[in-house]
């Protein structure tokens, strides 16, 4: 290549590229997750198997879920979406009353988000995808006992007052 075609990259451009690489991949706020707000009834679960998300307010979205089997609550979870001090959007689930685990936003789109914590036992990833106005797919995945595992949870939007009612 002729030396006349080789131009040095300005130092300012290199500094800008390095600064951008150090930033989180997305500059999202909790308000960008508003598509998740509402009441969702789980498919294939018993009446009362639901996930509820409050609309964004005060820099957070709060959620909760309950799984019912044979007429009894067998699992529950409290969740929060908030920005961490470094600006990264994070999902912090608290399954069955355990302490919260931080999952940082890995990727997102207008109606989907993937959160990751590679050091967590299982799952290492949690994803939400709004498939239609009335459908939501959540999934957890990662390695469990050295083997890859993925579990999906399909939901339909319901009126919040009707979410836990018996059919």
pLDDT, tens digit (0-9, with 9 covering 90-100), for 36-56: 999 999 997 788 899 999 999
Instruction: Please return the burial class of 91, using the count of CB atoms within 10 Å of its CB with bins 0-12, 13-18 and 19+.
Output: buried
pTM: 0.80
Q: Which two tokens stand for residue 15?
A: 């500094």
pLDDT, tens digit (0-9, with 9 covering 90-100), for 5-24: 443 434 333 333 333 333 44
Q: What is the total residue count of the chain?
A: 167
Structure confidence at residue 164 as a pLDDT band (50, 70, 90): low
131 DSSP assignment: E
pLDDT, tens digit (0-9, with 9 covering 90-100), for 68-108: 999 999 999 999 999 999 999 999 999 999 999 999 999 99
């Amino acid at each position: 290549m002729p030396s006349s075609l080789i131009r040095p990259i300005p130092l300012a451009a290199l500094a800008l590229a390095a600064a951008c690489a150090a930033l989180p991949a997305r500059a999202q706020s909790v308000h960008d997750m508003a598509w998740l707000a509402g009441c969702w009834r789980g498919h294939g679960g018993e009446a009362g198997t639901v996930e509820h998300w409050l609309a964004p307010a005060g820099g957070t979205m709060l959620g909760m879920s309950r799984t019912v089997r044979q007429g009894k609550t067998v699992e529950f979870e409290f969740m929060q979406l908030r920005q961490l001090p470094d600006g990264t959007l994070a999902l912090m689930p608290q399954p069955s009353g355990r302490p919260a685990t931080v999952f940082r936003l890995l990727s997102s789109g207008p109606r989907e988000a993937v959160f990751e914590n590679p050091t967590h036992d299982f799952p290492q990833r949690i994803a939400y995808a709004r498939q239609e106005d009335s459908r939501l797919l959540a999934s957890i995945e990662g390695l469990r006992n050295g083997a890859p595992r993925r579990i999906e949870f399909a939901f339909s939007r319901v009126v919040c007052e009707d979410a836990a009612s018996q059919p």
